[in-house]
Amino acid sequence: MKTENSINIIPRKKHNISRRDISSNALKVLYRLNKSGYEAYLVGGSVRDLLLGKKPKDFDITTNATPEQMRKLFRNCRLVGRRFRLAHVMFGLEVIEVATFRGPHQYTNIANRNRCQCQKNGMLLRDNIFGSIEDDAQRRDLTINSLYYSISDFSVRDYVGGFQDLKTGIIRLIGDPETRYREDPVRMLRVIRFAAKLNMQIHIETAKPIVNLVTLLKNIPPARLFEESLKLLQTGFGLNTYMMMREYQLFQPLFPILAQGFTTQGNSVMERLLIQVFKNTDIRINNQMNVNAAFLFAAMFWYPQLELAQRIVQKNSVSYHDASILAINEILDGVCKTLAIPKRITTLIRDIWHLQLRMSRRHGKYAWKLMEHPKFRAAYDLLVLRANIEKNQQLQHLSCWWTEFQSAVLTQQKNMLSKIGNEPLMYRNSTKLNYCDINYNNRSSST
């Protein structure tokens, strides 16, 4: 390794990145930029993951070519972004994102002032100022995400100490942490996400301001917070992320309805379900299995919805069915004020919750019709999850019945249906099974 000024240049023989592990389309973009006289570097998460021996999800590139120059150079290029203009080079389903080197946003001349807009609290709204690679390195958020792989000599360039932080397992913000968090409060979530994902320690100076700045997340659009919530909880490290978010008090701004039900010992039925659903989601992702955001949110918010329905029944003397509809609407409206969950997902959440009421009705042909519902499997999974968490005898009996019924042949299914009338009364006909016997409100045992 050699150092020029504050640059740490790691030559090819001192690092493990090989072009064999880089997307062929990313290499095409790098080579064309380089041959056209522009600087071109692989940057960010792809360099970090390659150095860690992991397979990158995507490959981002940075260059001194402007977005307009990129569009002239690549016919398969389109420009996107408002806060900062980016070039997307399209190769079928693969998109190579190319960003021009960013410059410092504290420019005072009129031309650059028009390209950069900030709120009074310091949050950046628009930032189309270009600069050098040194400027760009300082503008990135984490040191480990500010490493540059050069296509010209295959070296790795480090301007902020990211190579050493990667080796020692440290998550560190570039620059003054409080200033950087105020520029973009989502950086607090990114710090947690990468610490959980990479099993690294957050540097003390990076961690210190977080608890005092969590309220800044209220300034982030709900649509962006929804996308961030999926990155936090659906990337295979959801449980670790959840525990760290609670430690740094970042869970409450995203999920205030859930935070209201947290207990001192963290052992309420809702908290136990959260831990289990995050564990299950991590297992599925790490085994390359599909995950469903609707199921995740349906499980997470099941108990707040259930508790509200119970209160409505007690106060208004309405049926369980009507109470559940009112509770579902109110809970989802509250959730969407913080996280702009798309309607296509909230519709599925409603289906999963409604099916919880219907799972105990199994007479005649009803059980077969229920199995034909598109969200039956998700509803069944939630039923099993609830039964395992609550240790409720009725729920356990019902979940076991549905488990056996799905795998049984037709004659066995008919026999199972004929025996329902002989089941103990507590196992039959019960919207009450889903509401009155849960004992969710009794938190004294866990606190």
Positions annotated as catalytic residues are: 58, 60, 141
Collapsing DSSP to helix, strand or coil, 91 comes out as: strand
Q: What are phi and psi of 75, to 5 degrees?
A: -70, -25
Q: Is 28 exposed, middle or buried (0-12, 13-18, 19+ CB in 10 A)?
A: middle
Q: Is 241 exposed, middle or buried (0-12, 13-18, 19+ CB in 10 A)?
A: buried
Q: How far is CA 47 from CA 21, 55, 157, 166, 247, in A?
A: 11, 10, 10, 11, 29
Where would I find the H helices in 175-221?
A: 177-183, 186-198, 204-207, 210-213
If you count them, how many residues does the chain have? 447
Q: Which two tokens stand for residue 257?
A: 């309805």
The DSSP secondary structure of 210-246, one letter per residue, reads HHHHGGGGGGS-HHHHHHHHHHHHSSS-HHHHHHHHH
Question: Strand pairing of 94-100 and 60-63?
Answer: parallel
Beta bridge partners of 361: none
Nearest to 300 by CA among 339, 264, 343, 249: 339
- Which residues have CB under 8 Å from 182's CB, separation 6+? 121, 122, 123, 213, 216
- Which residues have CB under 8 Å from 80's CB, separation 6+? 86, 87, 88
Q: Which two tokens stand for residue 151?
A: 């296509």
Beta bridge partners of 116: 127
Q: Which two tokens stand for residue 177?
A: 């942490």
